[in-house]
A and B are shown apart, each in its own frame.
Chain A
C-alpha cells in the first residue's frame, strides 16, 4: 500500500509529460498527485498501531549480487513519509503562480518527491542509494532553471556536495558489502553481521559524514544556504523541508544501525575527543550556534531562513548523538517539525514577500511596512518563526525539549550551549520579523498595489500551521510510532545502559 506513494508520484511525472497538458492542468495534476501521496501515507498511518518494521514488498532484483527490491516502513519512515506528503502538497500550492515552463517544473518536482518517498521506504541499501541519486537530479534542474540569485552556481554547488556525499556513502557501503562476504545489503539482515571494530571505526564516520552533508552538518553545510536562497519557493521548501531530512534519516537508518560500534570510545583521547560521538556532537552544537549567529547578520531575508535551517538541523544531529531513547525521539520529531516550519518560512519569504515586492533585502523591506499591506504574511511569519524557535504548543517545542533532555545526560555543557543557540535564534527571527514586516525606517511605503494573498497560499499556510499545531499539542500521534520503532530489534545495537 505505502509503496504507492512512490508509484503515484512517478505516474504523476508521466502524466505531466503527456503532450497537450496546459499549465492549469499541470497544476491540478501535480496537486492531485501530491494529495494522493499524502492520502496513501495517511492510510498506512492510520492502520498502524505500533511502529515496528513491516515489509511492503520484497522481490529479487539483481540476484547475483543479492540486491532486492525491498520496501518496508517502520514508525520513523512513516513520520517522514507524512512530512513529505504534507510539504509536497503545500509546495504545489505555493507554486501555483509558476508560469514559466509549468509542466516541466511540476514534473521535476514530482520526480524529486518520488525519489524522496523511495529513500524513506527502501530497506535494501543499494535501492536506497538509487532513490537517493534519483532525488539529486531534479534538485539541480529546479534550481538551475527556475531559480533566482546566482542559480547556476548554487545548483552546481548543491549537486557537487550531494554527489560527494553519496560517493562517501557508497565507498562505506561497498566496503561493508565486501567485508560481510558480499551476499546482501539488506538492512534487515546486515546490522546483525558483526563487523570488526576497527572497520566500523572508519566506516562509520565515512557514511555518517556522507549523509551528514545533506543534513547540513557543519562544516559541510555551505551548500544549504546558497541552495535554499537560489531555489524557487517550492524547491526551497522541499530542500529544507524534506531533502535535508534524507541526510539525517540516512545518518540514523544506515550509519548508526549498520556501524553502531563506530560510536564507541576510541580508547584514547585526541584534543579532548574520546569517540566519533564526541566529535559529531560538537559539530552539531557548532552548527546550532554558528548557524544562528550567521543568520543574525544576514541582509537577505532568505539567507536568514537558510542559516536557521542549519541551526535547527544541528538539533537533529545532536539528538542522534545522545544515543538515548528520548534524544533520538526528539531528533525524529525535530526532523518532522523543522520540515513543516522551514517549509512555511520559505513560503512566506519566497512566495508571499519576494514574489510581491521583488526584493529580499531587509533594508529595503524595512521601508515598506509590509504588515499593513499583507497582514496575512506577517501573521504567518510570526507564527512560523515563533514555532520554530520553540514556542510551546507547536511541534518545535516538543522536539527540542526531548533533544535537550537527552543532551543533559550525554553532554550537559552542550545542552547549555544549545540553550544559548535558542536565545540567538530568538534574536535573529525577531530581528528579521521586525525589519521585514514592521519596519520603522522612513521611506516609500510599498506601492499600495501588492496583490492580495491568494487562496492556494492561504490553504497551504493553514495545512502547514495545522500540522505543526496538531503535533505540538498532541505529539503522542507520532510518539506512539517513533518510540516502538526505536525499541525494535533494528536498533538493538545502539541501546546501551543509558538508553
Chain B
C-alpha cells in the first residue's frame, strides 16, 4: 500500500514551485514565469507517468498512501486515485500550464501571481487525491485562498465585490460541509470516505446518526437528510447549481482570463468531483429521498443558465453561464444515477453510460471552457479590453486563423460530433433518458438554447459586416498558434477516439454503479 509516494510527490511539485517562484521571482519577471511554467510542465509529466503506470483494468484505488496523522480524531494521511481521480489530475495538469501561458504578460507582481496559481494547483491535486475528510478539506480550502487573491488583486473594475462574493459564498458552503462531516464523525468515529461509503452501503450510517444525534425526537431519516443538506450545500455552491450560482458570473467576468481558465476549467470540477466521490457513495439513500427535487434543480440549472447566457452581452459572461449550463448536465447524470433501480441489469448499464458521460463531460468542459476563455483573453488583448458581443463583427476576414480555431472550440462546446464535447453529452443523455425520461426531455431545451447562443457568438463576432475599427487587428502569432495547438488537438483526438478517457474510467464507473445498487 505504501509504495513509492507518487501522489505526495505530485502534490509537492507545485507547492515547491510556488515557494520557489515567490522567493526567487522578485528579481526577474522572466525567471518567475519560466520557473512557474516549468514546474507546471514537470507536474504534467509526472501526471502522465502516473497515467502510464495506472492499471485501467481495475476500478480500485491505486497508488494508495496511508499514514496515521491525528489518531485521536481519526485523521489519516490517506491518498489514492481511481479512474475519476486520475482524469481530474490530468485535467488540472493540462489546464494549469495553459493558464500560465495565457497570463504570460501579467503586469503587476508576476511572482505572486504565478505562485498563487501553483498554490491553487497544489490544492487541486490534493483535493482530487485525498480520501480522508480532514486531509481533503485542507486542500479544498487551500485552493480557495489563492483563487480569492487572483480575482481580488488582478481582476477588473468590480473585482472587490466579485472576489468577496465568491469567497463568502464558497465559505458558507464549506462551513456547512464541515459541520455536517463533524456530525458524521461524532456518530461514526470515521473521517474516511471509503469506510463511510461502506457504512452507508451496509445501512449502518443512518442508525448511527440517529442514535448519537437523537435531537428533538426527529426521525432518523430527517436527521440524515439534514446532514446531507449540509454536504450538498458545500458542493452545490462550488459547482454551482442554480440557485447557488450568483457568485459565479461576476467572478468569472472580473477575473483575469488566466484565472478564469483555472476557475472554470478546474475549480468548478471540485464540486462535481465531490458529488461523485462523497455524496453519491455516502448519501445515496438521502439523494433518492429528494430525487425529484434534485432533478428539477439540475433541469433548472441547465435551462435557466442557457437562457441567461442568451441574454448576456459580454463574451465572458456568456461563457460563464455556459459553464453553469455544461456542468448542469453533469449534475443531471449524477442525480439520475442515484435512482434506485434494484437489480435491473439494463438500467445499471444506463447508469454506467450516464456516469461515464459525466466524467468525460467534466474533462471536456474543463478543457474547452479553459480554451475558450483563453481565446477571449487574446481577443481582449487585441481590442484593448473590449469583449462585448456587439463590439466586433466580421473578424473572419481580418483574423481568419483566430476565428477558425476559436470556432473549433465553440463547436466543441456546442457538442458537435467529432469534437470532444459531443461524446460526453451524448453518453449522459443516453444514460439519463431511460432513468429519468421527462427530466432528460426537458433538459434538451438547454441543448437547443446552447446552440443558439453559441451560433450567435459566431455570427456577431466572426461574420457579418466588418467593424472598420478592427480592420488592422493582427492575427494569431506563431507562438500563440503553437500554444493553442495542444488543446485544439486534444479536442479532435478525444472527439474521434473517446476511448482514451473512457478506458481509464470505465472500471471505476462500473464499481461506482455497483456501490449505489443497494
> Which residues of A line the B interface, CB within 8 A?
326, 329, 382, 386, 391-393, 397-398, 401-402, 404-406, 408-409, 412-413, 415-416, 419, 422-423, 426-427, 430, 434, 438, 440, 475-476, 479, 483
The answer to whether A401 touches B72, judged by C-beta atoms less than 8 angstroms apart, is: no
Q: What band does the interface of chain B fall in when counting residues whose beta carbon is under 8 Å from A?
A: 20 to 34
Chain B interface, >50% SS class: helix
Asked if A391 and B183 make an inter-chain contact with CB atoms under 8 angstroms apart, the answer reads no
Taking CB as reference atom, which chain A residue is nearest B140?
A392
- Chain B residues whose CB sits within 8 angstroms of the CB of A426 once the complex forms: 167-168, 171
- Measured CA separation A476–B76 after assembly (Å): 12
Q: Is the Cβ of B185 less than 8 Å from the Cβ of A405? A: yes
- Residues of B218-268 at the interface with A, using a CB-CB cut-off of 8 Å, are none
**Complex CA distance for A401 and B167, rounded to whole angstroms:** 20
Sampled A-B contacts (21; CB under 8 Å) = A326-B72, A392-B134, A397-B138, A401-B182, A404-B179, A404-B182, A405-B182, A405-B186, A406-B186, A408-B186, A409-B212, A412-B183, A415-B182, A415-B183, A419-B178, A419-B179, A422-B175, A430-B167, A434-B164, A438-B153, A479-B72
Chain A residue at minimal CB-CB distance from B72: A479
Given contacts A412-B213, A423-B172, contact A402 B164 (CB under 8 A): no
A395 to chain B, nearest CB (A): 12
A27-B501 Cα distance, complex, nearest whole Å: 65
Chain A residue at smallest Cβ distance from B148: A430
Choose from B72, B134, B171, B213 the contact partner of A483 (Cβ within 8 Å): B72
Q: A326 contacts which chain B residues (CB < 8 A)?
A: 72-73
Q: Nearest chain A CB to B207's CB is how many angstroms away?
A: 16
Report the Cα distance A397→B70, complex, angstroms.
13
Q: Is B60 an interface residue when CB atoms closer than 8 A count as contact?
A: no
CA distance A412 to B171 in the complex (A): 20
Asked if A392 and B138 make an inter-chain contact with CB atoms under 8 angstroms apart, the answer reads: yes
Q: Please determine whether A476 and B141 come into contact, CB atoms closer than 8 angstroms.
A: no
Complex contact B183–A329 (CB within 8 A): no
- The listed residue with most A CB atoms (<10 A of its CB), out of B141, B142, B175, is B175
Cβ contacts under 8 Å, A476 to chain B: 69-72
Q: What residues of chain B lie closer than 8 Å to A382, measured between beta carbons?
A: 145
Do residues B142 and A392 form an inter-chain contact, with CB atoms below 8 A? yes
CB distance from A319 to the nearest CB of B (A): 13
The interface residues of chain B lying within 8 Å CB-to-CB of A386 are 145
Closest to B163 in A: A434
Contacts of A329 in B (CB 8 A): 72
Q: Which of B73, B134, B141, B160 contacts A391 (CB 8 A)?
A: B141
Q: Which of B138-174 contact A (CB under 8 A)?
A: 138, 141-142, 145, 152-153, 160, 164, 167-168, 171-172
Residues in B neighbouring A397, C-beta threshold 8 A: 138
Counting CB contacts under 8 A, is B176 at the interface?
A: yes
Among all A-B residue pairs, the 8 with the closest Cβ atoms:
A392-B138, A408-B186, A419-B179, A408-B183, A426-B171, A419-B175, A404-B182, A405-B182
- Which A residues touch B167, using CB under 8 A? 426, 430
B70 contacts across to A, CB distance below 8 A: 398, 475-476, 479
Which residue of A405, A408, A427 is within 8 Å of B73 (Cβ)?
A405
- A419-B179, A426-B167, A430-B167 known; A412-B72 Cβ under 8 A: no
Q: A391 to chain B: which residues have CB within 8 Å?
A: 141-142, 145
Are B213 and A408 neighbours in the complex by a CB distance under 8 Å? Answer: yes
Q: Which residues does chain A contribute within 8 Å of B52, judged by CB atoms?
A: none
* B141 in contact with A408 (CB, 8 Å): no
Q: How far, in angstroms, from A408 to B152 measured CA to CA in the complex?
A: 35
B31 at the interface (CB under 8 A from A): no
Q: A404-B182, A423-B171 are in contact. List 15 more A-B contacts (CB 8 A).
A: A326-B73, A392-B138, A398-B70, A402-B73, A408-B182, A408-B183, A415-B182, A419-B179, A423-B168, A423-B175, A426-B171, A427-B168, A430-B164, A430-B168, A476-B71
For the complex formed, measure the closest distance between the CB of A479 and the CB atoms of chain B, giving whole angstroms: 5
For residue B178, give the distance in angstroms from its CB to the closest CB of chain A. Answer: 7
Query: Can you list, as one digit per residue, whether each of B67-105 has a CB less than 8 Å from chain A (1) or not (0)?
Result: 001111100000000000000000000000000000000
Q: Give the chain B neighbours of A430 by CB distance below 8 A.
A: 164, 167-168
Cβ-based interface call for B215 (8 A): yes
Asked if B54 is an interface residue, CB under 8 A from chain A, the answer is no
Q: DSSP majority for the A interface?
A: helix
Give the nearest-CB partner of A330 in chain B: B73
Chain B residues 455-514 with CB under 8 Å of chain A are none
B residues near A423, Cβ cutoff 8 Å: 168, 171-172, 175
Whether the Cβ atoms of B137 and A392 lie closer than 8 Å is yes
Q: Mark B165-205, 1 if CB is under 8 A from A, else 0.
A: 00110011001101100110110000000000000000000
In the complex, what residue of chain A is closest to B223 when comparing beta carbons?
A412
Report B214 CB to chain A, min CB distance, Å.
10
A440, B164: Cα distance in complex, Å: 13
Assess A440 versus B186: contact at CB under 8 Å? Given A329-B72, A419-B178, A483-B72.
no
Across the interface, name the chain B residue whose C-beta is closest to A415. Answer: B179
Contacts of A427 in B (CB 8 A): 168
Smallest Cβ distance from B122 to chain A, in angstroms? 11
Contacts of A406 in B (CB 8 A): 186
List the A side residues contacting B168 at CB < 8 Å: 423, 426-427, 430
User: Distance (Å) between the CB of A469 and the closest chain B CB?
Assistant: 12
Contact with A along B388-429 (1 / 0, CB 8 A): 000000000000000000000000000000000000000000
Nearest CB in chain B: distance from A85 CB, A: 24
Tell me the bound Cα distance from A412 to B134 in angstroms. Answer: 20
Q: In the complex, which residues of chain A have a beta carbon less than 8 angstroms from the beta carbon of B72?
A: 326, 329, 476, 479, 483
CB neighbours (8 Å) of B142 from chain A are: 391-393
Min distance, Cβ A51 to any Cβ of chain B, angstroms = 12
Closest-CB distance, B256 to chain A (whole angstroms):
16
Within 8 Å CB of B160, what residues of A?
434, 440
Whole-angstrom distance between the alpha carbons of A427 and B73 in the complex? 28
- Complex CA gap A423/B160 in Å reads 18
What A residues does B145 contact at CB under 8 A?
A: 382, 386, 391
Within 8 A of A (CB), among B117-147: 134, 137-138, 141-142, 145
Q: Which of A406, A426, A475, A483 has the most CB of B within 10 A?
A: A426
Q: Determine whether the beta carbon of A401 is less than 8 Å from that of B186.
A: no
Report the minimal beta-carbon distance from B454 to chain A, rounded to whole angstroms: 36
- Chain A residues with Cβ below 8 Å from B178 are 401, 404, 419
Given A392-B142, A430-B168: A419 in contact with B71 (beta carbons within 8 A) = no
Give the residues in chain A near B179, CB-CB below 8 Å. 404, 408, 415-416, 419
Question: What CA separation (Å) do A15 and B514 show in the bound complex?
Answer: 75
* Cα distance A326–B138 in the bound complex, in angstroms: 20
Q: Which A residues lie within 8 Å of B172 (CB)? A: 423
Nearest CB of chain B from residue A406's CB, rounded to whole Å: 8
Residues of B within 8 A of A401 (CB): 73, 134, 178, 182
Task: With CB as the reference atom, state the residue of chain B lying closest to A472.
Answer: B138
CA distance A326 to B212 in the complex (A): 15
Residues of A within 8 A of B152 (CB): 434, 438
CB distance from A93 to the nearest CB of B (A): 22
Q: How far is the CB of A405 from the nearest CB of chain B, in Å?
A: 5
B215: which A residues are within 8 A, CB to CB? 412-413
Q: Decide yes or no: A409 and B171 within 8 Å by CB, A386-B145, A392-B141, A479-B72 being known contacts.
A: no
Q: Which residues in window 418-450 of B have CB below 8 A to A?
A: none
